[in-house]
Amino acid sequence: MHDPVRTVDRQVWRGSSPAEGTRAIPEETALALTYNGGTYAVMMGTPQDLRDFAVGFSLSEGVISSSADIDSLDIVRLDNGVELRMWLGKPKADRLLERRRHIAGPTGCGLCGIESIAEAMRPAAVIGHGQQFSPEQIMVAMQSLPSRQKLNVETRENSPDEFRAFVGSEMDKWGRVVREANIKLG
């Protein structure tokens, strides 16, 4: 039902003609993380390694301090998503109620503040018919996007690998500065 990878037919426009083939693409589905019956967060994610994801999310959010704090964890697969239902002991559950908040996610999946899978998986709006574009027009439009995206130009938005390389180069550069200045972190 929620396979993590799906193989799809694809057409790639190369030069003046399309090339046919297949491509494996990662699947995402709505994931609802619930504690003691209340939804804490809904986000899009790959439906794989969900137990690890639920425990890791709970640890990184400070909901738990150890996986042993989760009394039970049920993975409930629904038609339009997956609920990761966790039950916490009373002390952790009480603490969670005190600090419950809406989570502003670190990425732009568009689900911040959504509290149910049904809200997350609403049908897409239907756009009027009539306009048709050739493959060439689509390629020209796609190639012109980066220069027209102001935030992309200002922040030099990049892929995870590019970001990792940037962080590595910054660590090297500033690490040298810290070592040469004999700065001690404490």
Q: Which residues are catalytic?
A: 109
Coil, strand or helix at 19:
strand
Number of other residues whose CB lies within 10 A of the CB of residue 61: 15
Pairing state between β 81-88 and 17-26: unpaired
Pairing state between β 70-78 and 38-45: unpaired
Question: How far apart (Å, rounded) are the C-alpha atoms in residues 63 and 68?
Answer: 12
Helix, strand, coil percentages in the chain from 3-state DSSP, rounded to 5: 35, 30, 35
SS (H, E, C) 73-134: EEEEEECCEEEEEEEECHHHHHHHHHHCCCCCCCCCCCCCCCCCHHHHCCCCCCCCCCCCCC
Question: How far apart (Å, rounded) are the C-alpha atoms in residues 9 and 19?
Answer: 11
